[in-house]
Amino acid sequence: MVKSLSDPPHNGGKGRAGQTQSAMILYLYRLSSTGEVSASQLARGRRRVADNLPDAVLDNPAAGERYAEVMAAARWGQQAGLAGSTVAHQD
């Protein structure tokens, strides 16, 4: 059973932004767990975001912080029972 990531300690206490982040993590987990998106596709996408982060920070100075928060939430999701989740898999 998938546990919720919307508890305040896991959404950074950021209200709607935290809920959006939690929903995104759960969505990526579901895509991964059903095989619609492979682990390598998730890793490639995550790598592309990380590689383009310096440019994103120019438009949105909080982009680096948000990326780190999403990755931390994804790692928490793995530990909280989203076993098999590759969203936060480290290369």
pLDDT per position as a tens digit, 45-74: 999 999 999 999 999 999 999 999 888 888
Is-above-0.85 flag for pTM? no
Is 7 a residue whose pLDDT tops 80? no
Q: Residue 81's closest CA among 2, 21, 28?
A: 2
The overall average pLDDT reported for the chain is 77
Domain segments of the chain as ranges: 21-79
How far CA 78 is from CA of 35, 36, 52, 81, in Å, comes to: 17, 19, 25, 6
How far CA 16 is from CA of 7, 33, 55, 66, 91, in Å, comes to: 12, 25, 25, 13, 30
